[in-house]
Amino acid sequence: GAGAAKVSPSLLAELKSDPDLRAIPVVVLTTSQADEDILRSYSLHANAYVSKPVEAGDFMSVVRQIDDFFGSVAELPRWRAP
């Protein structure tokens, strides 16, 4: 598929392979809805895959929902400085 998901797998793989960074939640936010991009992102251990809306107001709503979820709902590990 087209879109940012083709650019980000190497960064996602790098983050998830680093012991000091792998616990950081990664949300892939992209215009792609291609099955192969979704599968690739989850196979590289993305924590969520979100197809971003085109309209600015809708986009900000999605970003707020992601922030609310990871900031208030999800239990995340307590971070310690390496």
Contacts for 54 with CB less than 8 Å, ≥ 6 apart: 31
Q: Tell me, what's the pLDDT at 82? A: 57
Contacts for 64 with CB less than 8 Å, ≥ 6 apart: none
Please state the rounded mean pLDDT for residues 67-79.
87
The pTM (predicted TM-score) of the whole model is: 0.75
- The percentage of the chain sitting over the pLDDT mark of 70, rounded to a whole number, equals 85
Please state the rounded mean pLDDT for residues 4-25.
79
Q: Tell me, what's the pLDDT at 77? A: 82
58 against 78, higher pLDDT = 58
Residue 45: pLDDT over 80: yes
